[in-house]
Amino acid sequence: MALPVVVMISRQELCFDFDAPVERRGTGSLKWDRYKGRDVIPLWVADMDFKAPPAVIEALKERVDHGVFGYTLPPGELVNVIVEMLEREHAWKADPQWLVWLPGLVTGINAACRSVGAPGDAVMTTTPVYPPFLGAPALSGRTLIAVPHRDDGARYVFDFEGMEQAVSGGTRLFLLCNPQNPTGRVFTREELMRLAQICLRHGIVICSDEIHCGLVLDPDAHHVSIAALDREIARQSITLLSPSKTYNLPGLGFSLAVIPDRDLRMQFRTSMEGIVPHVNAFGCLAALAAYRDCGQWRSALLDYLRANRDVVESFVAGTPGISMHHVEATYLAWIDCRALGAEDPASLFERCGVGLSDGRDFGAPGFVRLNFGCARSTLAEALDRMETAIRSHAG
C-alpha cells in the first residue's frame, strides 16, 4: 500500500476493541452477502463492521429475557433523551410533540416527498447525493431537479446561483443531506443560512437528512441543524434523525422526524397512514440506550474512524489516478477515479477483490464511495488490492 501511515491511538479508544474483525458472513448481512462465495472485501453500503455498543447489546438482552414482544410504544424516557440531545448537541430546543417515529430514514425521505406539494410538483436536491434522494421524487409522482455541487478545489460547496436558476414555480421541496453523503462535508452555518434564505424566498420546504450528524470527525467542524437557525426556517422544515449510523444499528429500523409546524406534521403523518409500520420494540430500546448511555463508545469510535480516514486520505494522495477531498464527517470516502481512464472504476476494483459503491448511483459517474467503518487490518488489505487494481489497469 502506498505511503504507510503511523496512526496514534488514544487511550480512550483502547476501551473498545474496534480492531477485532467480526465474522459477518452467513448472518444474512446485506453488505457481506452481496459477494457471497467470492473473495471480495465489501466496503460499499454505509454499514460499519463493528459490534454495537455494549450498553445497547445489554438493553436488548434484557428485553429478550422478558420474553413478551407485543405491540410497543416508544418509552417516554426516549422522548426526553432525544429532546435533551437536540438541545445539548445542536442548541435546538424542540417540543416533544414535534417528534414523528419512523422505521427508517428512507421512509422519511419518501414520506416528505408525498406530504409536500402535489403530484407533478418538483423536488430539488444537490448531487452527488445518497441514491434514495434521486429516486424518491419519482416514486411520489414528483419531478426531480438535481443541481450539481461545485468543486472549489478543496471541497464540495453549494452552487447557489445554479439553485436560483433551477427553481421552478412548482418547486415545493428541497432535500438536504448534512453531513453530506457521499462527500463528507459538514456545511457551515453561513452556507445553511444562504440555502435556507433561497428556500424561504421561494416557499420551499426543507427536508434535512441529518443521520450522520453524530459522526463529525474534525474538531473544528460543527454540525448545525438547519431548523435550529431560526423559527421561520424551522416552520418550513422536516429534520430526519437516527442513531443507526453513529451507533451501527441500521438493522433495528429506528428513525424519527422532527417537524415543528403543526400543519406540515399532520401532512407528513397523513402520508404515512396505512403504509408505514410502527417502530419496533428493539429499535426503540436500542435508540434509548445509544443516546443515553453510549457517549464514551461514540467518542472512541470517532477516534478510530479519524485514524482510518487518515489512512485512506494518505493512500489516495500517494496513488496516481485517484483523488479525494478531506472527509469532515461520516465514515465514507468519495474518491474521484476519472483520471484513471477506466470506464467503470467500481467494476475495476471489484475484479481485484474490493467492493465499492458506484458513483453513478449518486449521480456522479467516474467516482466510487469507500466505507472505512471497518477494522484497520481489513481496510489495509482493501487498499492493497485497490493499488493492485490501479497498477494492473495502468499496464
Q: How many CB atoms lie within 10 A of CB 360?
A: 15
Strands 156-157 vs 150-151: parallel, antiparallel or unpaired: antiparallel
User: What stretches of the chain adopt beta strand conformation (E)?
Assistant: 41-42, 99-102, 122-127, 143-148, 150-151, 156-157, 171-177, 205-209, 237-241, 255-258, 323-324, 332-336, 354-355, 357-358, 367-371
> Measured on CA atoms in the order 159, 371, 330, 306, is the torsion positive or negative?
negative
Q: Which three cell numbers stand for residue 272?
A: 404515512
Query: How would DSSP label each residue in 88-108?
Result: HHH-----GGGEEEES-HHHH
CA distances 80 to 84, 231, 320, Å, are: 6, 21, 51
Secondary structure (3-state) at 241: strand
Residue pLDDT, tens place only, 298-332: 999 999 999 999 999 999 999 999 999 999 999 99
Q: How many CB atoms lie within 10 A of CB 212?
A: 25
Cβ proximity of 108 and 238 under 8 Å:
yes
Closest C-alpha to 332, from 340, 324, 343: 324
Q: What per-residue confidence (pLDDT) applies to 153?
A: 95
pTM listed for this prediction: 0.95
69-293, CATH topology level = Aspartate Aminotransferase; domain 2 (3.40.640)
Q: What one-letter code names the amino acid at 358?
A: D
CA distances 281 to 9, 113, 226, 269, 285, Å, are: 36, 27, 30, 20, 6
How far apart (Å, rounded) are the C-alpha atoms in residues 63 and 57? 10
Q: What per-residue confidence (pLDDT) applies to 394?
A: 81
Closest C-alpha to 54, from 301, 289, 273: 289
Q: What per-residue confidence (pLDDT) applies to 178?
A: 98
Cβ proximity of 44 and 31 under 8 Å:
yes
Q: What per-residue confidence (pLDDT) applies to 13?
A: 44
User: pLDDT averaged over consecutive 10-residue blocks of the chain (395 residues)?
Assistant: 45 72 94 96 98 97 96 94 97 97 98 97 98 98 98 97 96 98 98 98 98 97 97 98 98 97 98 95 97 97 98 98 98 98 97 98 98 98 98 86
CATH class for the domain made up of 13-53+295-394: alpha beta
Q: What per-residue confidence (pLDDT) applies to 5?
A: 44
Domain boundaries, the chain: 13-53+295-394, 69-293
Residues 6+ apart with CB under 8 A from 318: 2, 3
